[in-house]
């Protein structure tokens, strides 16, 4: 029901001032259209301002839970009014409440967008990390290395050559055993034996 239709239905009961109808949420509208609903703009609820308080009270008491009436073949003939009189509520309070609800909805939407961006960024980082790991594994396969580092023959060949071996991304160097200088010095009698053996 459009505001003009609502005004025409309520005008016989008193002078109507301002009217505000809450439009349907955009997500609910798209869902309804997707399911084959009408393309008309629908409203959920609304506020009507009467110029005189007694008219507003009369309408709230007498029209609540009554059929809208009008022409028998009219669209709104069998619809039921749901009207309440709000005492002490000014139009500015209603507008302020609507603005607060809109601001809250916008803040919630911004938070959801930021959360989605953060999740997308984390997902893309994981994809990149996976590509890097799969590239490393592919190059290891080309070299003939075992991906898990459990290929013992390749490790044995690398140890015999004395080159550093690569295992799970780390370099491991083979350690030489250290000998002290005292062990390297020849015994006193060995030098004499060498000289004598070379002479004879």
The pLDDT assigned to 154 comes to 44
How far is it, in rounded angstroms, from Cα 42 to Cα 2? 8
How far is it, in rounded angstroms, from Cα 95 to Cα 90? 9
Are 68 and 124 found together in one domain?
Answer: no
How far is it, in rounded angstroms, from Cα 8 to Cα 4? 6
Task: Write out the two tokens for 129.
Answer: 């990390």
Indicate which CATH number applies to the domain containing 14. 3.30.70.330
The pLDDT assigned to 90 comes to 84
The pLDDT assigned to 107 comes to 94
Give the domain extent around 16.
3-86
16: exposed, middle or buried (Cβ count in 10 Å: 0-12, 13-18, 19+): buried
Are 82 and 22 found together in one domain?
Answer: yes
Q: Has residue 54 been placed in a domain?
A: yes
The pLDDT assigned to 77 comes to 83
Specify the 3-state DSSP secondary structure of 43. strand
Q: Has residue 169 been placed in a domain?
A: no
The pLDDT assigned to 189 comes to 66
Are 70 and 132 found together in one domain?
Answer: no
Boundary (domain end) residue, out of 125, 144, 163: 144
How many structural domains compose the chain? 2
Boundary (domain end) residue, out of 123, 144, 165: 144
Are 71 and 95 found together in one domain?
Answer: no
Across the chain, which has 200 residues, the per-10-residue mean pLDDT values are: 88 91 86 87 89 92 86 85 88 83 91 94 93 90 66 47 57 73 65 69
């Amino acid at each position: 029901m459009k505001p003009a239709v609502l005004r025409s239905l309520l005008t016989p009961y008193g002078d109507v001032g301002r009217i505000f109808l809450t439009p349907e949420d955009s997500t609910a509208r798209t869902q309804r259209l997707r399911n084959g609903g009408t393309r008309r703009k629908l409203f959920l609820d609304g506020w009507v301002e009467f110029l005189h308080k007694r008219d507003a009270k009369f309408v709230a008491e007498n029209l609540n839970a009554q059929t809208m009436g009008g022409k028998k073949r009219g669209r709104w003939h069998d619809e039921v009014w749901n009207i309440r009189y709000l005492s002490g509520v000014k139009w500015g309070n209603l507008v302020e409440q609507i603005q607060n609800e809109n601001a809250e909805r916008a803040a919630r939407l911004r938070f959801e967008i930021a959360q989605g961006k953060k999740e997308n960024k984390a997902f893309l980082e994981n994809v990149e990390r996976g590509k890097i790991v799969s590239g490393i594994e592919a190059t290891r396969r080309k070299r003939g290395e075992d991906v898990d580092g459990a290929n013992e023959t390749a490790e044995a060949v690398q140890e015999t050559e004395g080159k550093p071996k690569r295992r799970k991304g780390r370099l491991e160097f083979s350690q030489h055993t250290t000998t002290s200088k005292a062990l390297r010095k020849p015994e006193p009698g060995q030098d004499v034996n060498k000289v004598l053996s070379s002479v004879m």
